[in-house]
Amino acid sequence: MSLALLEVLEKKGSISDIDLYREVMSNFGEVSFRELNRELMKLELAAILRVSRLTKGKRLVELTGKPIFD
C-alpha cells in the first residue's frame, strides 16, 4: 500500500488526507482509513513524506523531496 500512496503523491503533489484516501480507494480498492493512517505514519517516520495539520480534522500530506533510495 505504501507504493500506492507514493504513486498518488507523485502524481498529485501535496494533497489532503481525505482526498488521498478517496484516490487510493478509487484506484486500489477497499482500504480502511486506519490502514491509511498506519502507512502514513510509517512513511513519515522514514522521512519519505510529511503530514501537517491544515484545520481541525484535516491534514496535508506531501512528499519531502528526499530520494527514497540512496
Regarding predicted confidence, which is higher, 26 or 68? Answer: 26
pLDDT at 37 exceeding the cut of 90:
yes
Name the band, by pLDDT with cuts 50, 70 and 90, for residue 24. very high
Alpha carbon distance 70, 58 (integer Å): 32
Q: Which domains are seen in the chain, by residue range?
A: 2-63 (1.10.10.10)
Name the band, by pLDDT with cuts 50, 70 and 90, for residue 62. very high
pLDDT at 16 exceeding the cut of 90:
yes
